[in-house]
Structure 1
């Protein structure tokens, strides 16, 4: 059994200093010259464009900040790992980030199933996770102290799409979705939006994550012949679905949410995708009415080899700017608790055309949704 005893004043002071040092050491990833941030997302496989886009946009911002001296004199060091868009790998790589890489905060995860899988780790190890590329309500309600979402939710996107369908005269809406947490999150949002209007989902079709096995789900859509179909998945399987659906004569209005990876989808479907609606959670990249679009376009051009601003790297840029702003607000001697408090205080913060509204009881910074459409093999602004 361990024994305890009173100590002298000098020893007590030394013990207090030791405890203080241990408390500081508990917040890994901070040194006099560096802030280590961990990004675990999909860098390989049929959804790799999403992880690579988030990385490109975020890294451009961090490089720009570092070139200007960093945050309170500390350079941001982004450590990246590939989870292949698989929950088990996301868990393994997240544990490595925290226990081996000793990161200060996590950032820029991609996908509902992967983010859901690491949520218990984030809570248990009390490490902030900022800006996951997912709109799932499971990551928003109830509020998790350590988890901060920047983008609008899938409920917000589904509501916008359903409202548009109804406005254009649709009487029946089906859902073709990836059979996992992501797919069911958007399905749930669509069901809520339809229920508000006295409707239900007309038909459902599914496919498995990280596959292009869309034929069974497509058959369900061809049987139902709905006026509109909400498609839920990344660009590769949805590109396959769009091409086969059009080839099979499906006349339904097709639409999908932002997670698809717009630029990758357009690149794969070309004019075969004409008419497809895509809801977005960032302003149109070519729209200079939002100053943040021009700023992200410029920083990506400078620090990402002249890359063009698209929807995914735009989200990476915008999300990185939110993290940088919070790190700045966390002060010259940041702790994870200070970062959380700084994020909670970002209410009414204007990033240049988009406004953040975070609080202790609201960890979704934005709720704006923008509609776009593929036209002549290009993406265009609808509203």
Structure 2
């Protein structure tokens, strides 16, 4: 009886050992059975839809890949820590994922203020930080070896909005409502640069504190500039509150423009009828069409593996980041390490995700550059021509 019990213990220990010891030639977070990735993102609070959306997109793709046998027989496991969209918590999450959980890399981070503190941690530990849901310039310039961006930058989004507002609609009185942190400053700087190219300046600015909806003071500051258009750099609850209050305060003729990080579907739900005519820039194609093979794949994977989630731009961005990771990992082969992962990106350069192509270069770690404009009309989000 004792021998039988001892044999069971030995067998159990052997299973644990075999699933936890790194595979020969592979790096941290990689065994013969699995690849472990980490995500620090907001899962609760007024910006939770952003983190939940990114996680859903990542998980939909990874579940689909795992169902088909994984990457070279290795299943992908994603560990997500809730950072509350706060830098201090993001630091703790990143350190725990890297030092304690020993993940291969971090993927799908959410937000500029959090990404700005995670980046130096990853650089010091030489851990790739892939596909963050932010377009901040701080993750792009100067070039950072361990930061790999999928999406276009906030500067590119602001340039697209300036083309629409100034070049096409001939508006000259532009104001900016922004979050009072790194995200808000990134967006503010982006629109200022775009306007400067057109010999214009903002007529007013107003800001609010992250993770709040206290926007009235900012609205009063913005209103003083008598703007024709207001570029908004915030999250969905705060931006919705601003738009609803602005309508009540007589800014009915102003054109409200949000950038992609706002969370389009969540904004639509929060703003209600006051959202009519609101413009939102996007950095991925519409999640509701089947124009590209990858969009069909995304919709099917989300329906099967994340049935509680409806398609939207955020989960699509997460899906694309995950699909990009899988392609790089597949091309890297058995000896998957943090350095070999990055080397594969440089060696291959171009990755076709299914009609959507990501391109990288020696000093370029941003895969996509396209920006699309959408607008709320009749309670729906439609493409602007």
TM-score bracket relative to the smaller structure = over 0.9
Measure the CA separation in 2 of the matches of 1:344 and 1:267: 41
Tell whether the 8 Å contact from 1:129 to 1:147 is kept in structure 2 after alignment: yes
1:286 shift after superposition: 1.8
Cα separation, partners in 2 of 1:23 and 1:144, compared to 1, 3 Å: farther
Residue 84 of structure 2 is matched in structure 1 by 84
Residue 157 of structure 2 is matched in structure 1 by 157
- Tell me whether 1:188 sits opposite 2:180 in the alignment: no
Give the TM-score normalised by structure 2.
0.92
Residue 127 of structure 1 is matched in structure 2 by 127
Tell whether the 8 Å contact from 1:270 to 1:378 is kept in structure 2 after alignment: no
Measure the CA separation in 1 of the matches of 2:261 and 2:343: 28
Tell whether the 8 Å contact from 2:212 to 2:238 is kept in structure 1 after alignment: yes
1:79 shift after superposition: 0.5
1:119 shift after superposition: 1.2
Matched pairs, number = 363
Give the TM-score normalised by structure 1.
0.92
RMSD: 1.6
Residue 349 of structure 1 is matched in structure 2 by 351
Measure the CA separation in 1 of the matches of 2:23 and 2:314: 37
1:291 shift after superposition: 2.1
Tell whether the 8 Å contact from 2:219 to 2:246 is kept in structure 1 after alignment: yes
Cα separation, partners in 2 of 1:354 and 1:127, compared to 1, 3 Å: same
Tell whether the 8 Å contact from 1:47 to 1:85 is kept in structure 2 after alignment: yes
1:277 shift after superposition: 0.3
Measure the CA separation in 1 of the matches of 2:26 and 2:33: 18
Cα separation, partners in 2 of 1:176 and 1:156, compared to 1, 3 Å: same
Residue 318 of structure 1 is matched in structure 2 by 320
SS of alignment partner, residue 382 of structure 2 = strand
Cα separation, partners in 2 of 1:346 and 1:381, compared to 1, 3 Å: farther
Tell whether the 8 Å contact from 2:42 to 2:82 is kept in structure 1 after alignment: yes
Measure the CA separation in 1 of the matches of 2:79 and 2:360: 26
- Tell me whether 1:296 sits opposite 2:298 in the alignment: yes
- Tell me whether 1:73 sits opposite 2:43 in the alignment: no
Measure the CA separation in 2 of the matches of 1:181 and 1:248: 28
Superposition pairs of residues 105-120 of structure 1, within 5 angstroms: 105-120=105-120
Residue 43 of structure 2 is matched in structure 1 by 43
1:210 shift after superposition: 0.5
Residue 145 of structure 1 is matched in structure 2 by 145
Question: Structure 2: which 5+ runs fail to align?
Answer: 1-20
Tell whether the 8 Å contact from 1:279 to 1:369 is kept in structure 2 after alignment: yes
1:169 shift after superposition: 1.7
1:201 shift after superposition: 1.3
Tell whether the 8 Å contact from 1:346 to 1:359 is kept in structure 2 after alignment: no
345-354 or 272-281, larger mean C-alpha shift = 345-354
SS of alignment partner, residue 379 of structure 1 = strand
Measure the CA separation in 1 of the matches of 2:58 and 2:226: 41
Tell whether the 8 Å contact from 1:271 to 1:375 is kept in structure 2 after alignment: no
1:24 shift after superposition: 6.8
1:153 shift after superposition: 0.2
